[in-house]
Amino acid sequence: MNRLLAKSFLISILIFTNALVSNAQQVIMEKPLVKKIEVTGSAEQEVLPDEIYVTISLREYFRDKDNKNKIDITLLEKQLQKAVEEAGIPKENFSIGAINGYREWWGKKKPTTFLESKNYILKVANLYKIDAIISRVDEKGIAYTNIDRYEFSKIEKLRKDIKIKALQAAKEKAGYLLEGIGEQLGEAIDIIEIDHGYTPQPVYSNMMVRATAMDVSPTMPESTIDVQKIKVRYEMKAVFKIK
């Protein structure tokens, strides 16, 4: 008797399960397919960097070959600091980046002279005044100048604007594609930002300018050449309903 009840109970469960599966399949079959279109839009814009970080490296040296009359780093630093102030650059945009030093060897003798060098970071809006600043520092005390990096102060707002333009381009593309086949664009179903891991940078991000007696002078005019523009580009994927 117990076996008969168990068998009946099992049969009931199987019938109930089959009914549920059948109903679910029927609901799926009856659900209408959504007509949709998937497109990708892109937008880009070029801007001039308004934050340029320049490294100026100063080093001590001897005026004479026999290690006499050393030009101290403090003297060179004062010259550079004065030149930066005269150029109208705020103090907070001028700082020390690194300090180095080494001893010189002369023949088989132990090193007795220590020469110090310092790297300074100068933040400027453009490069127009850099040549004039360098020309006011003892040219033999300048090891090199180097453009470290470029930045744009309003880069976050720029990114948002370009993403919106890319999305608008996607919508426009979907609209004229559907118009070409006599269909109408409906509401957006899905929006996806395409991430290429792209960081906006100029084509060249490192330019070396070495100061020599031939290219600097106390009366050197300001340069009028701009730096490379930054190009920012984004793509957006969008899915729209077709009415």
**Is residue 128 domain-shared with residue 213, that is, in the same domain?**
yes
**Is residue 100 domain-shared with residue 132, that is, in the same domain?**
yes
> For the chain, what percent of residues have pLDDT higher than 90?
52
Span 182-201, average pLDDT: 82
Select the more confidently predicted residue: 167 or 147: 167
What span, in angstroms and rounded, lies between the C-alpha atoms of 166 and 40? 8
Q: Which of 54, 58, 119 is nearest to 93 (CA)?
A: 54
- 89-141: pLDDT as tens digits: 999 999 998 888 876 665 555 556 788 999 999 999 988 899 999 999 999 99
- 8-17: pLDDT as tens digits: 555 556 555 6
pTM for this entry = 0.67
Number of domains in the chain: 3
**Is residue 78 domain-shared with residue 123, that is, in the same domain?**
yes
What span, in angstroms and rounded, lies between the C-alpha atoms of 44 and 152? 15
Q: What is the CATH number of the domain that holds 71?
A: 3.30.70
Backbone φ and ψ of 181, nearest 5°: -115, 15
**Is residue 143 domain-shared with residue 221, that is, in the same domain?**
yes
**Is residue 52 domain-shared with residue 145, that is, in the same domain?**
yes
**Is residue 69 domain-shared with residue 131, that is, in the same domain?**
yes
> Which pLDDT band holds residue 7 (cuts at 50, 70, 90)?
low
**Is residue 208 domain-shared with residue 97, that is, in the same domain?**
yes
Domain that residue 2 falls in: 1-31
**3-state class of 138 per DSSP?**
coil
**Is residue 85 domain-shared with residue 190, that is, in the same domain?**
no
